[in-house]
Amino acid sequence: MKRRTLLALSPVAAAPFLAADGLPSTVLPPTVLTAAAAPPPSSVAAEIHLNRWMVVPKAPRPPVLSGQLDDPLWERAARLDDFRVMFTHTPIEQQLTGFLLYDDAAIHLGLRWTDPDHWDTLTVVDFLVATGPDGWNYHHIPIQISTDDRAHPKDYGPGGTLVEGLDPVRTIDADAGVVTAEITIPLDRIGNPNPDQGAEWRVNLLAQHRMQTRPMSSWTPVRRGTDLYFGGAHLVRAFVANEACLGSVHLAGVWTDPTDSTQLVDPAAEVQLNWVSFTEKELVIPADALPGRARFTVEWKAPGAPWQRVDTTAVSRDGRIIVPITHQPR
């Protein structure tokens, strides 16, 4: 059987499948899942970070929601990080990370906010999800973090459906300055009860803070909008209801249970995805992180297109496994 490993590879939001012979086809190592390639700054005219995408794995069971992100399933979740301040697109100074999983019945979202000095400023994180390749019809799920600060009105553009009545499980560690939250969103509440493997969805996470503390930020940077204070009230209007401001996520297959004897790529290994040219990449894996003599199969997927086989031959070089990848321009 073959192991399939998903990679986040391209600044044009196309996804490859990487398979290594000898392991079950449902294994999904997180170290490779989160690898990303970016071209040298001198070779591009626009900032690549404006386009965001991720591969979301299918969990073998729903995670147990404790509010602490301590279920082992979260370790393999897709991670949405590097949040950018609204309008300026500069990185936020604190750490905010979203974790995404899905199963046959629901999509599961975890959040971790770390700010040792002002951990209590975060009030609500809005999850926007369009269960299709465009963002014109999307669902808006507010995830209330603060229990003593009201949600402020927000307008994220036309086509949105507010999903209410879903409460997260939260945990606050004031000494460490860490706030965590977990929430399960039934698929039938977002209009797609039976998603296909490989389906492309659009998502964004937007974080709002107490008035006059910190600016809003988002996973996929917001280009147009207003964030206004007036008369003690806070009103946000941000145009995100299209694919330009909703990042792309692809739904992957299920992995094997982490309690079995399957050997995976060492999570601590420094797996790299190097940019060679617009259509050429190199996956670099430390040889000691992948037991045995692995053979690789690569498949490439552009948004809205089927998976396509890509020819490649892995080579060993200086204690590393090099997997060259040449893919279609889109």
Q: pLDDT at residue 70 above 50?
A: yes
pLDDT tens digits for 268-281? 667 787 888 888 88
Q: Is the pLDDT of residue 19 over 50?
A: no
CB atoms within 10 A of CB 20: 24
- Between CA 308 and CA 301 the distance in angstroms is 6
The residue count for the chain: 330
Residue 150: burial class (beta carbons within 10 Å; 0-12, 13-18, 19+) = exposed
**pLDDT for residue 29 is more than 70:** no
Contacts of 20-23 with CB under 8 Å at 24 or more apart are 20/290, 20/294, 20/295, 20/296, 20/297, 21/294, 21/295, 21/296, 21/297, 22/292, 22/294, 22/295, 23/262, 23/263
What one-character DSSP code corresponds to residue 167? P
| Amino acid identity at 258 | P
DSSP letter string, 28-63? --HHHHT------GGG-SS-GGGS-EEEEEEPSSPP
Query: Which structural domains are found in the chain, ordered by start?
Result: 1-46+255-330 (no CATH), 61-253 (2.60.40.1190)
pLDDT digits (tens, 9 = 90+) for 89-103: 889 988 999 999 999
pTM of the model: 0.68
pLDDT at 234 over 80: no
Q: Identify the residue with better confidence: 146 or 224.
A: 146
Quick one: 158 exposed, middle or buried, by C-beta within 10 A (0-12, 13-18, 19+)? Answer: exposed
Percent of the chain's residues with pLDDT above 90: 29
